[in-house]
């Protein structure tokens, strides 16, 4: 009934499926089906699931087919597939799904995959969440470089430029641990990548659950939002983004007894190596995941929002619907040029031959650049008028140019 109602409103329903682990509570498979797991491989959630076994593969494939064929959902987002040590299972799942869906019906298969396996996006999967794009933008917006953001602290604007022109930042390069990560992705269409400024993981896994509305200037966030919603990548919005919510989104659970204690202490232990929580007394201020007030504090409140933000999203989504979405098929990146430490120009040829150009400046000072004429502009985030030879501080200018204007 829920899916039917959504379809009646022209909305797709995509299910977030977790095939890489089971939860820590209420899972009894170990007691009556121990071969489901392999003790020689561990994940952050315990023994790895044994995808070498045909019966285990079939269990998950049938689950996918249930959502897509019985409930007629429109797609699946597969959680953390990097924890599945048999990538050929993913290819088999995609093949079975494509074979089961009737001709003329398209379902979306989207991956979360830290390994940046671009090859999977040519083997039945439509897109991948692009953590690289988020991480580079987060460093540029906030200056934070602890944890996994350390991989993006050196020349983050160059990493963002690579993301916009080639998809992934890490395409085989070593990460901060010296481990090669990723596969070449520049041959893929921009719509193979899901771009976001925030999501449940990136906010909820922070110690205090702060949103970008608390971490950077509204002008910088407005400029980044222009990039997010008008670039040819697929934009992902987190609840509250469209209103500029300032409410935190905290890590919350409803565990009890020993498990609740373990989660609480484990959560605080995660942040022991962060400067802000080096002192044990400081870690005591990290909210208890099992406290009801932690959940209540995470509910977006309409009064704690940025003024005019809802209208900004309406404007940008309308522009995207009219000028970008109809021409996504066949679109190709034409490259990105770094203009300064926090500024760049990126260009794409859309399917109709026109050139989409985005000039972005996340610095507090103007950036010299020859901008397209005002007649071609779809969006300008600047609060003040600027000459056509400069980008204002914290600004995004989006232009749609006639075919043939490939040069920046």
75 near 110, Cβ under 8 Å? yes
Collapse the DSSP code of 363 into the 3-class scheme (helix H, G, I; strand E, B; otherwise coil) and give the result: coil
CA 135 – CA 159 distance, rounded (Å): 9
| Closest C-alpha to 273, from 177, 207, 179 | 207
- Pick from 356, 359, 361: nearest CA to 345: 359
Which residues pair with residue 108 across a beta bridge?
75
Paired sense of beta strands 395-401 and 377-380, if any: antiparallel
Residues designated catalytic: 79, 112
d(CA 123, CA 129): 16
CA distance 235 to 313: 12
Rounded distance, CA 210 to CA 208, Å? 6
Lookup: tokens for 18: 């977790």
Whether the CB-CB separation of 288 and 254 falls below 8 Å is answered with no
Report whether 157 contacts 346 (CB < 8 A): no
């Amino acid at each position: 009934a829920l899916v039917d109602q959504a379809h009646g409103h022209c909305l797709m329903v995509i299910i977030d499926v977790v095939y890489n682990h089971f939860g820590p509570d209420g899972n009894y498979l170990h007691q009556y089906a121990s071969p489901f797991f392999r003790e020689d491989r561990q994940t952050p959630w315990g023994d790895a699931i044994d995808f070498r076994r045909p019966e285990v593969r079939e269990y998950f494939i049938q689950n996918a087919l249930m959502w897509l064929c019985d409930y007629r959902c429109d797609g699946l987002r597969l959680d953390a597939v990097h924890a599945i040590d048999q990538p050929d299972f993913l290819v088999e799942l995609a093949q079975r799904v494509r074979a089961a869906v009737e001709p003329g019906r398209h379902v979306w298969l989207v991956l979360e995959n830290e390994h940046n396996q671009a090859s999977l996006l040519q083997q039945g999967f439509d897109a991948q969440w692009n953590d690289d794009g988020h991480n580079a933008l987060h460093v540029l917006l906030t200056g934070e470089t602890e944890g996994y953001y350390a991989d993006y602290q050196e020349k983050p604007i160059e990493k963002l430029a690579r993301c916009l022109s080639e998809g992934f930042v890490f395409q085989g390069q070593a990460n901060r641990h010296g481990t090669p990560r990723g596969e070449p992705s520049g041959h893929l269409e921009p719509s193979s990548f899901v771009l976001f400024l925030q999501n449940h993981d990136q906010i909820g896994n922070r110690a205090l659950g702060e949103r970008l509305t608390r971490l950077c200037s509204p002008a910088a966030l407005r400029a980044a939002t222009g990039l997010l919603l008008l670039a040819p990548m697929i934009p992902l919005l987190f609840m509250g983004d469209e209103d500029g919510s300032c409410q935190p989104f905290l890590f919350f659970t409803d565990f009890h007894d020993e498990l609740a204690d373990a989660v609480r202490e484990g959560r605080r232990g995660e942040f022991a190596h962060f400067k802000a929580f080096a002192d044990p007394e400081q870690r005591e201020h990290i909210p208890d995941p099992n406290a009801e007030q932690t959940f209540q504090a995470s509910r977006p409140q309409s009064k704690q929002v940025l003024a005019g933000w809802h209208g900004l999203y309406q404007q940008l989504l309308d522009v995207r619907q009219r000028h970008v979405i109809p021409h996504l098929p066949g679109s190709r990146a034409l490259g990105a040029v770094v203009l300064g430490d926090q500024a760049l120009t990126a260009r794409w040829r859309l399917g109709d031959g026109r050139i989409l150009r985005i000039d972005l400046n996340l610095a507090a000072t103007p950036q010299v650049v020859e901008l397209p004429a005002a007649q071609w502009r779809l969006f300008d985030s600047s609060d003040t008028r600027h000459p056509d030879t400069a980008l204002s501080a914290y600004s995004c200018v989006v232009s749609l140019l006639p075919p043939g204007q490939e040069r920046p």
